[in-house]
Amino acid sequence: MSGNGVCARVCVCVALAAVNQCVGRVVRHRGDYAAILLVDARYLGPAGAQAARKAMGPSGAVPSQQERFQEYVRCGAPIAKLPAWMHNSLDTAGTEWPRLHSRLAQFFRTRQQKG
């Protein structure tokens, strides 16, 4: 492996460690909740971005979060290296900002009603 490849892998590990630390600082107790936005295409990596486009399919149907994540794991996207307990709540909106905004609003409304 070239020096560039090793450097890229180290950078991914450092970035994901920072994400884990951020989540740990926000979510401290069972009743805590937060939304953390990773607004950087590098979390998907080139293969992950391609997988996101592929997952949409020719019909334009939006796959489930689980289907998307399985595709990211299959292609080795950096985001797939986040802890397993985060996987069910990951959503990769891509350029679908209206859908992401709607899901965020729904997330907070639901949590506030439970609280």
pLDDT tens figures, 26-49: 877 777 888 888 777 777 766 666
Q: How many CA atoms lie within 13 A of 43 on its CB side?
A: 18
Residues of the chain with pLDDT under 70: 1-4, 45-65, 93-95, 115
Query: pTM here?
Result: 0.58
pLDDT of residue 105: 92
Angle at 99 between CA 64 and CA 28, to 5 degrees: 75
pLDDT of residue 82: 77
